[in-house]
Structures are given as structure tokens and as C-alpha cells.
Structure 1
């Protein structure tokens, strides 16, 4: 069985514009300081650019996580067991997802991603690689309510959340997301999640500001997307990519910095920015072992196994859905 019909759960207006994207852009450009959620990086162009980022020598997370999946596949398969429906938050990576699917003999695969084009392309590639695996792509924002395909409802489930994407969220949002997926995946479910470790600041900053400028193009594409989809006239050439370590919050921050005073319109709304003002476009939080375990427990997941011997340091943590019992 190959890829079945794409299940779309993204709301659009009569012009086909994502309603949530429009709302987040206007809210983000109206506040001080300006900020737009990182999930809007991932249109077709942004998703392709991120795939390019994962191959850069400076971008260690994909290399470290792939190394863990490769070397510990047998241990992971033993801990997870066969016959689960794998629900991946974020469309399947061309490198990491096949390693997991090939190791654990899943009963079905459900990639959930907000970028419909990238979702369909990656699902088709995996269907060709695993022709006997039922694949049910769901076009949706996994930070919001997602209805899983009815075909997998009776199956035990494994949530797969690679890439340390959980690090893009502040702690309260990350906990809310983990609790939401604990409820969605249900009792008896497991979660395999990638968590990036705190490490040398120079390594971190190079990973998010590569000399080839691919990460800069990825960041600037957010502005290009606003212009394309919301009729904006942002002068993209007047913005500069910046990635810095914030030690107080233990995170890399990505910003789009205005190189000069400017005014622009988006969707008929007028905005202004002063030279040096930024649009905060992404956080990437890093966690020590105790911090990561606490985050998972707060989100309704109990860690049961950790693989973290990658270099540079990165962790894959397997957790089980916490069973909450009423007090007698």
C-alpha cells in the first residue's frame, strides 16, 4: 500500500491564504519587539532550504542525530517494539526517518506537516522506499489540534519528534505541546524525541550562521514568503540575518535585522522599522540532561531510555506516556 489521500487540516481564506499565517504576521509586526513564529519558515522554499542546511558541515544536529539512529537502531527497535503507527511531527527527513522506519517494522507512518508541497514530496519518496508501508500524510500545524487518520486509531503509537524542534519553543509552550500530543497519541504510546545539548558557544553560533549563507537565506525567505503570500513589499535586501547565543535562556536566537530605517506594507497594513530593530524569527533552546527529563515529565512523558553519545552532543530520548492515577 502506498500513499493515500492527503488529509488537509489547514484553514485558508477564499484567496487560499493560510488564515493563521496572516494573523501571526500582523500580530508579530505590530508588537514590540517584533517576532514571527518559526513554524512559518516552512513553505516549499523554506523546507527545501532547511534540507540544505542539514547537509552543512557546521550544522551538527542532523549529523549527530543520524549517527545516534544508525548506531543504536537495534537498541531502539528492542525498546520500541514492532507494529506501532509512527506519527512524525514535521514531515519526514530524507535521512533520519528511513533509518527509524527501517529499524522498527512499523504498522503505519503518519507525517504531520504544515507545508503541503514538502509533505507530499517526502511522503511519495518514502512510499517508494517502503512500498508495503501504509502512509497517511496529514497537512496540519502540529502545534494545534490534529485529528489522526481513523485507520491508525486501533494501533499502538510512537510519536517521532526529531531535530530538536522542541527547542524552538519556550518552556511553557513546549510543555503544552507535549501534553497535547500525550493526549492525542493516547495511553500506551511512546515518544522518541531529539533534544540538543548545551555546548561550546562557538559551535552553536556557527551552526546557525554558516559561512555559505544558507541559514541566512532560510531566515530571509520568511520575508520573501510574506511578500509572496500576503502582498507585502518588504525590502528584503535591507535586512540582515543574525544568530546569537542568549545565555540567560540557554538558546540560540535568530533575528532579521533592519539595516536602515524603512516603511513597508503587508496585506494593506503599513509598518515601520528603525535601523537596528529586529524581527525575532526563531529560538533554539538547548537542554542539559536533567532539564530535558524535567521538561518531558512536565509534559506527561516519562523518560525510559536515552542515547546521547553523539559528537557534538545531542540526545535521542525515548519516553512513555505517563499514566495519571487519581489519589485514593
Structure 2
């Protein structure tokens, strides 16, 4: 087994400063807003793993269906010997792709990129042990800030799975896609997951399960702020709420204040008032139409090579590469 190599670009000071900036800016905005990346401490990651297994949460199953059906074509079309996975998490679905590349005899390196050092180290060690001769070079970072630190070399298949692209509003989404395109060398490809527009009731059900797992996940962002910034959010006084914005075609998750309340954030020296019924947005999850994906990629210089959907047309995986 080749020992994994791990690069750390998120030290505690960087994380603290980023959280402080995001919380101060978000609580001063109208409506109040918190970025979804702060859901994911250890408890948040565990809750999200539970969400992916819920009956109404279809994206994970639909994406796996496409990967299992089309992975040999993806391996052939990409020509890759290296997999770079953005937001790699536990790297569970990654094994489908690594198995296909290993079968071609080309598999050389896996580069997981995630903001959780503990999760990344555990996944890196598991995969290095599972694939003889595989070089694992992990990067702990924030992919809005540290894309330039991804190792180059080899023929790379860059992946962003799970519909994560939908968490970016349009302007930031274009900036992010452009940053990926800027890191790509000739021959590299980009595999990207898109959740597609569908019946609104099904969309809302995927984000509002009756067992309350998603509600606990939503409120967990308040726990993170309480712990890291000495705040006193009372989680029971915020109600999980989900809506679908028909004009923007995205899901919104909110936390609704059940009563008038004042929250203090000791680490920022802030006191923030919430009116009864006031909503604070914690996530958007954009849904896409197949006919719009190619033009959106083309706007940053990426040519869509192929789009696959699951049998029900709920979800899409798209392979693209640099124009020219």
C-alpha cells in the first residue's frame, strides 16, 4: 500500500475567520442567511448520510443508478488515469469509478478534495488499502478558495457529484465553473451531477422528511455557530421550513423563528433580533433543465460531451471537457 499524501489548506485560523465573516455578513442581510457549508461538522455529516438513505431523498440513488450503468463509457470517454473528486466526503460512490478505471489498467491516482480533514483522511486510508498501487493525494480545502492547489499531472477526470452545484446561486455558480475550467489541462474531463426540475411536491418531500432528519440537519448549523462562536441559539425555537421558488427553480431551506427572540453571538460581539415568524435561509438547491446545461457549461469554455439521466429522468450526469 502507498501511504496517502494529504495537503492541508484549512487551518483552524482560516476556518474561524471564514465562519466569522459568513455569519456576520449573513445575519446582517435581508433576509438573514447562513451558507450551507457550515452544516457539516461531524454531527452534520452523519445526519446528511442518514438523509441520503431516506425513501423520499432520491438524488443519491438516481446518481448511483447512472454511474453503475454508464461507468464503463465514462471511463472510456474520459481516458483518465487520475480521479479528482471535489467534495469527496466518504468517497463511497467513488469506488464505482475507480473500479472501472482499474479494469482498464490505467488507474494511477485519486485526489479527494474535502473540507473535513478527519473524513478525508479516513476515506484516503481506506482507498489506498483497497487499490493496490493507487497513489492517493488528498487536499483539505474549500473549493471556492483552494482550487489552485489541486495537483496536476496525468489525465484527470474531475468529479463533483451529489447535485452540489445546485447550492450555488447563478453568478457564484458561473464563477465556480470557471475556476474548475481554469484548472483543467488539455485532455482533462469534468463529470458533474445535476438534479433536474420535477414535480414540486416530490422536490419538497426530499427536503422535509416526516422523521425530522432533515430538520435536525438544518438546525445543526445553529449548533455549529453556538459551539464555535459562543452563540446562544435555542434550536427548539427555530422551525424547519422548505419551499420551492418557481421563478428561480430552486428549493429553499429556511429556519423560522417561533417567537420574538434575541440571539447573542459572543465571539462576534453581536446581538441579533428575530421577529416571530421571521425566516432565515440556510440553503438553496437549484434544479436544472437538461436543455440549459450545455449552454451554461459553454459559457465558461466547457463543451458538453454527453448527458445521461436515470430511467425516471430525475437526475443527470454530464461529462464535459475544455473547448479546443
Report the TM-score when normalising by structure 2. 0.93
Question: Which residue pairs with 2:225 in the alignment?
Answer: 226
* Displacement of 1:71: 1.1
CA distance in structure 2 between the aligned counterparts of 1:18 and 1:115, rounded to whole angstroms = 14
2:303 and 2:321 in contact (8 A); partners too: yes
* Displacement of 1:4: 2.4
CA shift digits 1:60-101 (9 cap, x unpaired): 000000000111122112211242x21111024453111111
- Alignment counterpart, residue 40 of structure 1, candidates 38, 41, 66: 38
CA shift digits 1:172-224 (9 cap, x unpaired): 11111011011113333100000111001111011011111111111111000
CA distance in structure 1 between the aligned counterparts of 2:116 and 2:274, rounded to whole angstroms = 29
RMSD (Å) for aligned C-alpha atoms: 1.7
User: For residues 168-179 of structure 1, what are the structure 2 equivalents within 5 Å?
Assistant: 168-179=167-178
Question: Which residue pairs with 1:59 in the alignment?
Answer: 57
Report the TM-score when normalising by structure 1. 0.92
User: For residues 111-122 of structure 1, what are the structure 2 equivalents within 5 Å?
Assistant: 111-122=112-123
Unaligned runs of 5+ in 1: 324-328
Question: Which residue pairs with 2:8 in the alignment?
Answer: 8
SS in 1 for 2:320: strand
1:97 aligns with 2:98: no
Question: Which residue pairs with 2:304 in the alignment?
Answer: 303
Question: Which residue pairs with 2:189 in the alignment?
Answer: 190
CA distance in structure 2 between the aligned counterparts of 1:182 and 1:295, rounded to whole angstroms = 13
* Displacement of 1:17: 5.1
CA distance in structure 2 between the aligned counterparts of 1:182 and 1:82, rounded to whole angstroms = 16
2:44 and 2:217 in contact (8 A); partners too: yes
CA distance in structure 2 between the aligned counterparts of 1:126 and 1:56, rounded to whole angstroms = 26
1:164 and 1:196 in contact (8 A); partners too: yes
- Taking a change above 3 Å as real, the CA distance of residues 262 and 312 of structure 1, as seen in their structure-2 partners, is farther
- Taking a change above 3 Å as real, the CA distance of residues 17 and 113 of structure 1, as seen in their structure-2 partners, is closer
CA distance in structure 1 between the aligned counterparts of 2:89 and 2:225, rounded to whole angstroms = 25
CA distance in structure 2 between the aligned counterparts of 1:61 and 1:279, rounded to whole angstroms = 25
Number of aligned pairs? 318
1:60 and 1:312 in contact (8 A); partners too: no
CA distance in structure 1 between the aligned counterparts of 2:285 and 2:251, rounded to whole angstroms = 5
1:250 and 1:287 in contact (8 A); partners too: yes
Question: Which residue pairs with 1:326 in the alignment?
Answer: none
* Displacement of 1:131: 3.8
CA distance in structure 1 between the aligned counterparts of 2:63 and 2:198, rounded to whole angstroms = 15
CA distance in structure 2 between the aligned counterparts of 1:310 and 1:37, rounded to whole angstroms = 33
CA distance in structure 2 between the aligned counterparts of 1:11 and 1:306, rounded to whole angstroms = 38
2:9 and 2:146 in contact (8 A); partners too: no
* Displacement of 1:144: 1.4
SS in 2 for 1:233: coil
1:247 aligns with 2:254: no
Q: Runs of at least 4 residues of structure 1 off by over 4 A?
A: none
1:65 and 1:310 in contact (8 A); partners too: no
- Taking a change above 3 Å as real, the CA distance of residues 92 and 264 of structure 1, as seen in their structure-2 partners, is closer
User: For residues 1-328 of structure 1, what are the structure 2 equivalents within 5 Å?
Assistant: 1-13=1-13, 18-83=16-81, 85-105=82-102, 106-148=107-149, 152-266=151-265, 267=267, 268-311=269-312, 313-323=314-324
